[in-house]
Structures are given as structure tokens and as C-alpha cells.
Amino acid sequence: MNLHYISSNGNCFDLKVGHFRMRTADFHTYEWLPQAVAQQYGERPYRFDRSARTYEAQFSVFGTMDEKRTFLNLLHAAFDHDIINMTPGVIVHGEYKIECYITVSSTFYETPFIYDSISIYCPTPFWMKEKTYQLRGRESDMYEYLDYPYGFPYDFKAKLPGYAMITNFGEAPAPYKLIIYGAAVNPFITIDGVQIGVRAVVGADERVEISSTNKTVVLKGAADRDIFNARIKDKSMFDKIKSGNHSVIWSGVFNADLILYEERSEPLWI
């Protein structure tokens, strides 16, 4: 099973094998907070909320004393980097991950090991699994249909409309990120009748990134540019993708990646 901490600057620490071994962690605990109206007998819940989550964990450090000091210094520097830069790291548990900050650390020595107890603060209390769907245009060879008695110095080729099926395997609606690659003019995809895209020109060396979580539309290239006002004005564009199967349709003249983030209250038991 994968069990890693990855800091926001890309440093990866294996917490299952090697120099660090996770001893205890309460990753499989969670709580839904009911919002309810009092009644004569009991309550009538109308919503369940989730607050930020803090997990408690402890791991041991292996190696010579000098190695243990070196490993801990590297790990704690990574913890501090996330805090100082206000950019979360992630805990990876199997196929799922959760954004986090390490807010408390207490280190003690007990022959022959060093133990570190930490508090893992997760502002968004959901474990996520990414699934990327590659939406690629398809070419048709028009020579199969045009029987001219002479040739042309160029190819008669056209892009066929794109079609794909995607699946949100989770129980809850899934946030998404859509990446549209240029060159394209006014590119968009349609998911169950909802259009997601922009009214803009995307150069060959540019791409558009649309995030349902942050509700952002950014043109990335030589310099990033906010093009939120160029989004397709569909009120459902930033809605999460419901559980189940969905059809995706696009013109086929551009390529795109659609990333679904399946959310769970806890990582799967492995």
C-alpha cells in the first residue's frame, strides 16, 4: 500500500518503508455535523456539514543517529515550507490523497528509535482520487469518399466530432478540472447538455484550465492570464459531476483532458 507525504515543493517521503514507518494514524475516522430543526420529539435534519479535519499520527525513524537527524531535519523543513508558503502538501493513502498542513510535531527518543507525533490539519476534509479522461480528436481520411481521377498535393482530412463516456464511481458529485489544448477557437465540451469552455482564441502553445473547485478560468502560455469573463455563460458550468455515467461531446478539432476528483470521507481500506 502507498503511504506518502509529499510537500508543496515536491519532496516525497515514504511513510511505509525506508527511513520512516507510520505506527498509528486515525485516517479512518470522520464526522458529519447535522444541521437540524428542533421538533416536539427530536430533530429534523435538513443538512449535514463537514468541518476541517485534524488527524493524529505517529511514526518512527530508522537508521544511524546521524541518519535519523538528517532525515528528520529534511522532513520538518518540508513541513515548515508548506506552512510558510501557505501551500498544502498531501498525504497519499493508496489511490487517495488529501491536502494537509503539519501543524504540530513532537519528537522523542526511545532506544533504539526516534518517534515523531504529528497533527495533520486538512482544511478540506475529503480524500480524493483522480481519474483523467483524455479527449482526443479523430481524423477521417476523405480519400475514402472522394474518388477524383487525379491527385491533389494536400490531404483531404477532417476531424470527426468527439464522443466519450465518463464515470464518477463515487457516491458524491465530483469536482473537475478541464484542460483544453490549443490551437482552438471558442472551444467547449458538452456534458449531459451543459457546455464547459470559453469564447476565446487559444494559441497552439497555449491551454485553458477550468477548475470547478476554485471557479477559475485561466489561459496558460508564455504568461498566465485570467479569462474568467470569456467563459461560456452556462449557470451550471462549475457544477460538480454527478455520480454515474455521463456522455461527453465536443467538436473533435481540439484535444482536452478532463480530470474527475472522486471524494470520500475516508480512504478505502486496503
Tens of pLDDT, residues 112-138: 889 999 999 999 999 999 999 999 976
Stretch among 151-155, 181-185, 191-195, 224-228 having the lowest mean pLDDT = 151-155
pLDDT at 113: 83
Whether the per-residue pLDDT at 159 is higher than 90: the answer is no
Whether the pTM exceeds 0.85: the reply is: no
**190 lies in the same domain as 220:** yes
119 three-state secondary structure: strand
Same domain, 142 and 258: yes
Taking residue 141's Cβ as centre, other Cβ atoms within 10 Å add up to 11
Q: Are 76 and 59 in contact (CB under 8 A)?
A: no
Residues 259 and 135 in one domain: yes
Q: Which domain holds residue 153?
A: 129-264
In a domain, 270, yes or no: no
pLDDT digits (tens, 9 = 90+) for 204-247: 999 999 999 999 999 999 899 999 999 999 889 999 999 999 99
CATH of the domain at 66: 2.40.30.200
Cα–Cα dist 35/15, whole Å:
37
Beta bridge mates, 240: none
Q: What is the pLDDT of residues 52-69, one digit of tens each?
A: 999 999 999 988 889 999
Q: Residues 237, 142: one domain?
A: yes
Give the per-residue pLDDT at 143: 42
Kindly state the average pLDDT of the residues 153-175: 79
Mean pLDDT for the chain?
Answer: 91
Domain end residue (candidates: 99, 125, 151): 125
d(CA 55, CA 101): 11
DSSP code string of 18-56 = TTEEEEEE-TT----EEEEEE-SSSEEEEEEE---EEEE
Q: Is the pLDDT of residue 154 over 80?
A: no
